[in-house]
A and B are shown apart, each in its own frame.
Chain A
């Protein structure tokens, strides 16, 4: 294979192997003192038993570290904005796609409702079983991708998706501000969350509500990204 220039490959490989050795030795040495280290996760699981939901990872992502999730949604929004800005015109790109055959069209028409139903289920039951907003949103976006590649004149309705995404983003911040107003800290849990409800669908206060909002936003953003990457105009 052609190497691009005279980079010292042996230097880099020696560096990498010695880093590997150092990391291994450090990890094995750390294992011997693991009983003396008190991890933050144990305390958090104790707090979660008082005011959390059955899925500890969901309550960490949405409630205990909810501000980080807001930042992650902002990063996704900026990436979708950057991809959308590069499409120079909004002409429909029917000449980009070829007419696909009958098997693909029939199968995708059959499969799309089940994929959407599964995505909505994963989104709504995110606080009781593994799953949540991110996974459910991306599942719905992959169903939309399946429809986009089988039908030539299918387009995601632009105004509806933009409205959904905007409403979801605004309501996340509004719920946080409502928690600030009622309970004196951002994203405070102001809906009733009894510990006796743990395991029920309506439990944990605002946690399932926020995860559904996150799922709607991620799903609509991924659909727009996928459509922008398929339909790009050739002329400038």
Chain B
């Protein structure tokens, strides 16, 4: 059962990552990148690594994506 969940999470992460890289509008690309971070947190939990999961959740799906979004405002692409 663990193997099936890992397989399903990997497949959905690859699909969301491909959608994020080939998006036209930049805020959508960053929000989809947060989805890849969520899949990464689920996988770290299944690999029995709670410290790494908490760090990845706070940093990647939290501060890093918010820094990207704030930078977009200065680049003039906020929509």
Query: A residues touching B (Cβ–Cβ < 8 Å)?
Result: 1, 55, 57-58, 122, 130-132, 134-135, 138-139, 141-142, 145, 222, 225-226, 229-230, 232
Contacts and interface: CB of A to CB of B under 8 A. Distances in A.
The 8 closest A-B pairs by CB, nearest first: A130-B50, A57-B51, A138-B58, A130-B51, A135-B54, A229-B70, A135-B58, A142-B62
B50 A138 contact: no
B14 interface: no
Given A131-B51, A134-B55, A141 B74 contact: no
B15 interface: no
Interface string B59-75: 10011001100110010
B22 interface: yes
Nearest to A56: B51
B3 to A, nearest CB: 14
Nearest to B58: A138
- Select the residue from B22, B53, B58 with max chain A CB neighbours within 10 A: B58
Nearest to B50: A130
Contact of B55 (A1, A58, A135, A222): A135
A119 to B, nearest CB: 9
Contact of A142 (B22, B54, B58, B70): B58
A221 to B, nearest CB: 11
Contacts of B50: 130
B13 to A, nearest CB: 16
Given A1-B22, A138-B59, A142-B62, A226 B67 contact: yes
B62 A229 contact: no
A139 B67 contact: no
Nearest to A57: B51
A104 to B, nearest CB: 15
Nearest to B70: A229
A226 B66 CA distance: 9
Contacts of B59: 134, 138
B58 A139 contact: yes
Given A130-B53, A138-B59, 16 more contacts: A57-B51, A122-B54, A131-B51, A131-B54, A132-B51, A134-B59, A135-B58, A138-B58, A141-B63, A142-B62, A145-B66, A222-B63, A225-B67, A226-B67, A229-B71, A230-B70
A122 B58 CA distance: 12
Contacts of A226: 63, 66-67, 70
A232 B51 CA distance: 34
A130 B54 contact: yes
